[in-house]
């Protein structure tokens, strides 16, 4: 009797180990709903995202920044920006994307299931002054002028910048 229960326990443990090995990881939010994707990008007729974008105002601000920082880029992509703006103004429902001429595409991802890892880039904002004032006691200096040279070697720039540093910052840099 004991031997039979031991066989069942060993068989159950083996099945559990096989099931654990065959399951796909979900520790980073991966989903495996629709099987493997065979193309790098697949057109999605009906995106399964629910709700509307929570950062629609940020998009508008980004478009303004693009318009002022890179008029050429803005002009070349203005039809896309305008279509997205109109879609957002109408409520941002993903089921209505095609009505605004916007197509949704799913990326294949590294696992061929559409799970894609995105890298975000962060640009820090440094508050500074060119002159001493209040909490800004160490001014930031500009790059030295090139004086007609095609390119200034990096070592020269570093040495020149070190000479221009405020004495307190020079001590920190040497420290």
How does pLDDT run across 113-131, given as a tens digit for each residue?
Answer: 666 666 666 666 667 777 7
Task: For residue 169, name the pLDDT band (cuts at 50, 70, 90).
Answer: very low
pLDDT band, residue 82 (cuts 50/70/90): very high
Residue (of 81, 85, 82) closest to 57 by Cα position: 85
Mean pLDDT of 65-70: 90
Determine contact, residues 44/104, Cβ cutoff 8 Å: yes
Taking the C-alpha atoms of residue 98 and residue 76, their distance in angstroms, rounded to an integer, is 21
Please tell me the predicted confidence (pLDDT) of residue 13.
Answer: 76
Question: For residue 105, what are its two tokens?
Answer: 């595409």
> Three-state SS for 44?
strand
- The two three-digit tokens of residue 126, written as one number: 């440094």
Separation of alpha carbons 28 and 117, rounded Å: 9
CB atoms near residue 97 (< 10 Å): 20
Q: Which of 11-20, 59-68, 100-109 has the lowest mean pLDDT?
A: 11-20
pLDDT at 92 over 90: no
pTM of the predicted structure, to 2 decimals: 0.45
Q: Which CATH superfamily is domain 41-107 in?
A: RlpA-like domain (2.40.40.10)
Cβ–Cβ under 8 Å, residues 42 and 108: yes
Residue extent(s) of CATH 2.40.40.10 domains in the chain: 41-107
* Cα 108 to Cα 115: distance, rounded to the nearest angstrom: 7
């Amino acid at each position: 009797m004991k031997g039979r229960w031991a066989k069942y326990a060993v068989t159950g443990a083996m099945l559990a180990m096989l099931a654990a090995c065959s399951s796909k990881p979900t520790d980073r939010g991966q989903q495996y709903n629709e099987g493997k994707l065979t193309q790098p990008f697949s057109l999605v007729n009906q995106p399964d995202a629910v709700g509307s974008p929570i950062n629609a105002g940020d998009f508008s601000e980004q478009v303004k920044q693009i318009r002022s920082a890179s008029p050429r880029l803005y002009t070349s992509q203005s039809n896309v920006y305008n279509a997205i703006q109109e879609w957002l103004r109408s409520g941002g429902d993903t089921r209505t994307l095609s009505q605004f001429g916007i197509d949704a595409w799913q990326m294949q991802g590294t696992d061929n299931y559409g799970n894609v890892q995105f890298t975000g880039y962060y640009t820090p904002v440094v508050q500074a002054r060119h002159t001493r004032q209040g909490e800004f006691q160490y001014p930031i200096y500009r790059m030295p002028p090139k004086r007609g040279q095609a390119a200034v070697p990096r070592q020269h720039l570093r040495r020149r910048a070190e000479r221009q540093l405020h004495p307190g910052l020079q001590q920190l840099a040497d420290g």
